[in-house]
Structure 1
Amino acid sequence: MDSSIILLIALGLIVGGGYGWYVSLITRRNEVREAMGSIDVQLRKRFDLLPNIVALAQKFMTHEKSLLGELTALRAQVETPYAKDDPAAAGAHLEASKKLEAGMIRFFAVAENYPELRSAETITRAQATFEEVEGNIAAARRFYNSAVARLNNAVEIFPGSIIANIANVQSFPFYEVEDAAARQPVDVNKLMS
């Protein structure tokens, strides 16, 4: 075989392999975008629920105005549009979402101190809806983190790191929630009441 044919074949394999890796990176980045969109859909449900809860709670929780104001401010922060292709913007969006989730959990814990609020049918339904939405967010978070792991591995492993740099594909942050409540011992008395 002529050496120029061998060189052309080798060059074709390198270009073909590079293109295949590029396609893989773009596919994985699009999976991350899709997963982030799933999280955003669930967060939208949480956003839509929050004003109703705050409006109802304001009637009963006169001493908790700062908590209600904080929830409203956090909702506005999470609702702010962000660049889905920018890992830093996505990370800031996810961080704001974590703070809102923690605020909502704190709200429902404080609501336990207001029997008239706790017994209101609307707040009971809202809490059940919130718990359902949180379960959906957890499922979307798992899907997102799985897509991010695949993308980050492809971006960080050679030769993907070179191709990702050329194609401007970046690693994305994981959506991790610090769940202090999950680390606390379970109070059986609360579960039985």
Structure 2
Amino acid sequence: MSWIIWAAVAVLLLLYFWYATIVSRRNAAEEALSGIDVQLKKRTDLVPNILKIAARFMEHEKTLLTEITQLRTDVLKAAEQTGRDATQKRFEMEAALESKLSGLMVAVENYPDLKSHTNMLEAQRAYADVEEHISAARRSYNAAARRFKDAIQIFPGSAIAAMMGLKPLPFFEVTEADRAPVNADDFLKS
């Protein structure tokens, strides 16, 4: 009879440790997502400065500047939302903002006065630095999301996750446009 008690205790301990692992990995993924938020906030804080500098020189790109401003506003609103679907939608909006900002940085090359302007050079360096930090935060988040997904899909974690109503977190993925091969001719045109 005592071996039945020991077996039951062992099973309960196993379930508890797996539960603790799931909670720990979910918290790590949420922390990594928060790390992305910090970096994306840096970018959205940097955008107005870049736009102010660029607007003085770039009369022909008013539409692009307006689109970036609107995307920034939409991203800030999306940052206030929580949940799996809201996170996925925010990832999509952030990708659109990143794409537009990259287009702006390419457009800067067509304005020699702007390209050599000290404030613009500093803003471009800051932008490149923030983008590198965002990339690192996304890699960290994807790794944490994968560990969480593994924990809730491997038995007995799958049973525990089903009882708790847990679903895998979305991975950050690049857009189809970012997957397309780079055409060097696009960058060599002047």
Same fold (TM over 0.5): yes
User: What letter matches 1:13 in structure 2?
Assistant: A
The one of 151, 169, 180 aligned to 2:178: 180
**Structure 1 outlier segments of 4+, above 6 Å:** none
Quote the residue 1:87 is aligned against: 84
Task: Return the alpha-carbon distance in structure 2 between the equivalents of residues 165 and 66 of structure 1.
Answer: 48
Query: Contact 1:98–1:177 at 8 Å: present in 2 too?
Result: yes
Q: 1:120 to 1:182 in 2, by over 3 A?
A: farther
Task: Return the alpha-carbon distance in structure 2 between the equivalents of residues 141 and 123 of structure 1.
Answer: 26
Q: 1:182 to 1:119 in 2, by over 3 A?
A: farther
Structure 2 unaligned spans of 5+: none
Task: Return the alpha-carbon distance in structure 2 between the equivalents of residues 100 and 93 of structure 1.
Answer: 10
Task: Return the alpha-carbon distance in structure 1 between the equivalents of residues 85 and 156 of structure 2.
Answer: 24
Structure 1 unaligned spans of 5+: none
Q: 1:56-71, aligned counterparts within 5 Å?
A: 56-71=53-68
Query: May I ask how many residue pairs the two structures share in their alignment?
Result: 184
Post-superposition offset of 1:186: 5.2
Equivalent pairs: percent with the same residue? 39
Q: 1:78-157, aligned counterparts within 5 Å?
A: 78-80=75-77, 81-83=80-82, 86-157=83-154
Quote the residue 1:44 is aligned against: 41
Query: Contact 1:28–1:151 at 8 Å: present in 2 too?
Result: yes
Q: 1:134 to 1:13 in 2, by over 3 A?
A: same
User: What letter matches 1:145 in structure 2?
Assistant: N
Query: Contact 1:26–1:169 at 8 Å: present in 2 too?
Result: no
TM-score, structure 2 as length reference: 0.88
Please provide the CA RMSD for this pair.
Answer: 1.9
Task: Return the alpha-carbon distance in structure 1 between the equivalents of residues 161 and 74 of structure 2.
Answer: 31
